[in-house]
Amino acid sequence: MSIVLKLWSLYVRGTNRWPVIATIVPFIPVVALWSIAANSGMFPRAFFPAPADVARTFVALTYKGILPDYLQDSLIRLLTGATIGVVLGIPLGLLIGSSKWAHRVCWPVLLFFQAIGDIAWLPILLIWFGFGLTTMTFVIVYTVLFPIVLNTVLGVESVHRDLARAAQSLGASRMRVLWEVTLPGALPNIITGLRNGLGYGWRALIAVEIIVGTSGIGFMMFDARRAGSTVEIILGMIVLGTLWYIVDAWILAPIERATGRRWGLVTS
Amino acid sequence: MKTLSLRNLQKTYFDPYAGSQVTAVHDVSLDVEQGEFVSVVGPSGCGKTTILNMVAGFIPYSGGEILLDGAAVKGPGPDRGVVFQSFALFPWKTVLENVGFGPKMRGVPKADRDRIAREYLELAGLSHAADRYPNELSGGMQQRVGVVRALANNPAVLLMDEPFASVDAQTRMTLQEELTRIWQERKPTVIFITHDVAEAVFLANRVVVLSKGRVLDQIKVDLPRPRVWDHLMQDETFKRLSAQVLQMVRSA
Amino acid sequence: MIASGQRTGSKTPGSGWVWRTMNSLAGAAVFVAPLLALVAIWAIVVPLFEVNPRIFPSVASVADAAADSIRDGSLIRHIGASLLRVGLGTLIGVVTAVPLGIAMGVSPAVSSFLTPLFRFFSVLAGIAWIPIATLWFGYGFGAIVFVIFNAVFFVVAYNTLLGVSTIPMTIRNAAASLGARRWALLTEVLLPGALPNIVTGVRTGLGFAWRGLIAAEMIATNVGLGYMLFVARDFYRTEVIVLGMIVIGLLWLLIDRLLLVPLERATIERWGLVRRT
């Protein structure tokens, strides 16, 4: 057996046992290329730093405590916004989804306000609330809310009518049907909505931190931009990408798959 | 007159999970004559689909040879038409476009290939569905399209991989009868893979029983045609042949 | 089975055509009515409670602002600048991402290897590129188009990659056994097979791009809808801000409903590849 086959076998078995490897290995050649390009002197170093520079800055900023602090600020903002979005969004979605009239009245309004988009609210929010936490939270809630509401409505509508009828004929009250049938039935869609919402919310947070900017990863990046420090910008991007990748690929996507697959609501 | 010959065909592949070579097909030799209908039966894992995939050219073979009219087979090609268990119709093409795909690949002008496709659709009783998309058809109709799509390309051999396994029992019987009718009209050379013994006997001139990557035995089927389930169900010869094949498969 | 044959009834324009027009008009009316009701509430509430115009404008003042900005051409100029940036960035993004995504998706081994990379970069899509884009290209057109391009490129490439790799192997085999060579395989199988994912990718990417555009225009330029909003804030011109928000909302609705949704309907749903509302 050739050495190539042996290595391949090792890789396949390794990734099968630890899927993380399959996620990390593809980045090795990219970082290597990046390193070669940066060290070749094709671009000025200040414009295009090498991986080693970014790693050094990472260590330095972590040691000084700036990076952990900013990261914490960003995450708390996102989490607060997302929680409020979920608490408001799910009941609203259930209401709109289970009443034909509410649906008719609210759906166009929802689509329109979703179309305005979070960032476009910033100027008027700044007039209303000033540069502060309220403005940031409002934007995040706004961003997270729509995907959750729209997907909850879709979820409620996807629940088969016979399921609700079955529950009613087994003696469930309207509230019980909502709690025992509609909500679990819509859950896969709700989680998809949450996943999309957080994806948009994350980006909105960065924009808000750049514009409103007092602290946070977005602020760090834009502050670095003002100082012309590419290293910190790239570090910020890597932190953002990595963090979101972990949250999305290892937490949200598995939950989405688990609810959908387990119940056989999603095939493939 | 031989069309297709498999000589000491062999397939081994590397399984990265096990970290070792696995043999799927040990040593298979088989000759198929022009216009013959050969059924290949065997328990799952006997290598029948692997053989078909090698003949179709979808996967390479590791030993022996596959000759079509004397020339070695290399990669997939229009001389071997394939009918898939999963139908494999192009969802983004209408029924007419699906059937006309082979002629289109040969560079046949649109008007001519539409004419060819319509002719074949009529053969399968599908003229009314020409402008529909595959997902708008029932499973049975989809597989009818699958069969005539392969035929419309005038292949030297038609390879069928458990084509009726995913339709309901009623439809399956109809499709089997239609296939024997089409075969009698056109006399294509067919290799038909299945695990359904009755189906194998009903359709074929010859049944090949496969076991663990080897040919176990072969049986000639000289039942009269046209073959219709209503008659054959009670036919003593049919029953005897089916029982014989079944016993071989179960002992395999 | 006979009844469903009428679905291909494009040959009977007469009553069907009138019926369909009536239907879509009625649908549009039902859709617009709640929005008009919202405007009516706005028209009543603002004078009734004597809302300070520096907090929220009246309908009339927004209408005046609209008329003014149309008359002096500034609204058209801002819209034009924004649309040009989005259009150009999206065009470059799609044109480069689709071939690349298909090329990478052809081999299952290559595509599963590259998937995490593209996932990573599509996570960063859009706004996160603003700081570095403005540093590389300076404030202005180049930086903004780059941000849009980035938002679209990685999302579309990732989705194309995903789309190609989810085409069942049997369909590719079927095409090959019917005589399709490399080029035919590409145009007849891989491209249409990946189209549902490509369309989804464009829709998502454009969503990110649109937000990125507004954000970038607030930071990095002196023309465009985002800039119009942000400058109005300096002078507490809420009527201009609200006008801008409405324009942004309407434009996106138009792009989404008139361009992206019909594209999805015409292809994906007819083919039965994906069903969604």
Per domain, the residue ranges of chain C are 76-271
pLDDT bucket at B2, cuts 50 / 70 / 90: low
List, for residues B57-79, the tens digit of each pLDDT value. Answer: 999 989 889 999 889 988 898 99
Q: What is the model's pLDDT at position C126?
A: 78
List, for residues C70-87, the tens digit of each pLDDT value. Answer: 999 889 999 999 999 999
In this structure, which amino acid lies at residue B160? M
B71–chain A nearest CA distance, Å: 32
d(CA C12, CA B113): 27
d(CA A77, CA A91): 22
If you measure CA to CA, which chain A residue comes closest to C168? A268
pLDDT of residue C162 exceeding 60: yes
CB C38 within 8 A of CB A109: yes
List, for residues B175-212, the tens digit of each pLDDT value. Answer: 999 999 989 988 899 999 998 999 999 999 999 999 88
Partner-chain contact B14 A16, CB within 8 Å = no
Q: What is the mean pLDDT of residues C119-145?
A: 85
Q: What is the model's pLDDT at position C18?
A: 77
Q: Which chains touch C (3 or more CB pairs under 8 A)?
A: A, B
Domain C76-271 part of CATH 1.10.3720.10: yes
Q: What is the mean pLDDT of residues B145-170?
A: 91
d(CA B136, CA B128): 13
Q: What is the mean pLDDT of residues B129-155?
A: 90
Residue from the list C177, C189, C193 with its beta carbon closest to the beta carbon of B76? C177
A216 half-sphere exposure, CB direction, 13 A CA radius: 25
C196 touches chain B (CB under 8 A): no
Domain A52-259 part of CATH 1.20.210.10: no
List, for residues A58-105, the tens digit of each pLDDT value. Answer: 998 888 888 888 888 888 988 899 999 999 999 999 888 888 888 888
- Provide CB contacts within 8 A for B198, sequence distance 6+: B242
pLDDT bucket at C245, cuts 50 / 70 / 90: very high
Lowest mean pLDDT among A3-12, A253-262, B125-134: A253-262
Superfamily of domain B33-59+71-79+157-252: P-loop containing nucleotide triphosphate hydrolases (3.40.50.300)
If you measure CA to CA, which chain B residue comes closest to A8? B16
pLDDT of residue C226 exceeding 80: yes
Closest by Cα among B202, C180, B132, B52 to B144: B132
Long-range pairs of C20-23 with CB within 8 A, sequence gap ≥ 24 = none
Q: Supply the DSSP symbol for A180.
A: I
List, for residues C192-211, the tens digit of each pLDDT value. Answer: 888 888 888 888 888 888 88
Q: Which residues pair with B66 in a beta bridge?
A: B6
The full set of domain ranges for chain A reads 52-259
Residue from the list B76, B91, B93 with its beta carbon closest to the beta carbon of C176? B76
Instruction: Count Cβ atoms below 10 Å from residue A107 Cβ, excluding itself.
Output: 17
Partner-chain contact C272 B133, CB within 8 Å = yes
Q: Supply the DSSP symbol for C168.
A: -
What proportion of chain A, given as a percentage, has pLDDT over 70? 96
Q: What is the model's pLDDT at position A263?
A: 61
Q: What is the mean pLDDT of residues B29-46?
A: 90
Q: Give the range with max mean pLDDT: A43-57, B188-202, C103-117.
A: B188-202
Partner-chain contact B17 A16, CB within 8 Å = yes
d(CA B158, CA B153): 10
If you measure CA to CA, which chain A residue comes closest to C134? A225
Partner-chain contact C131 A225, CB within 8 Å = yes
- The whole-angstrom distance between residue B36's C-alpha and the CA centroid of its chain comes to 12
A242–chain C nearest CA distance, Å: 7
Which SS3 state, helix, strand or coil, does residue B184 take?
A: helix
Query: Is the bond into B226 cis (omega within 30 degrees of 0)?
Result: yes
∠ CA C126-C246-C81, nearest 5°, is 55
Partner-chain contact C178 B91, CB within 8 Å = no
Q: What is the model's pLDDT at position C15?
A: 59
Identify all chain A residues contacting B14, using CB atoms and an 8 Å cutoff: 1, 5, 9
- Provide CB contacts within 8 A for B242, sequence distance 6+: B197, B198, B201
In this structure, which amino acid lies at residue C86? V
d(CA B134, CA B148): 14
What are the backbone dihedrals phi and psi of residue B87, each rounded to the nearest 5 degrees, phi first? 70, -50
d(CA C147, CA C164): 26
- Provide CB contacts within 8 A for C55, sequence distance 6+: A127, A128, C238
The full set of domain ranges for chain B reads 33-59+71-79+157-252, 85-154
The sheet carrying B37-41 orders its strands as B71-72, B63-68, B2-15, B20-33, B214-220, B206-211, B37-41, B189-194, B157-161, B80-83
B172–chain A nearest CA distance, Å: 25
Residue keyed to tokens 């290995």: A25
If you measure CA to CA, which chain A residue comes closest to B14? A5
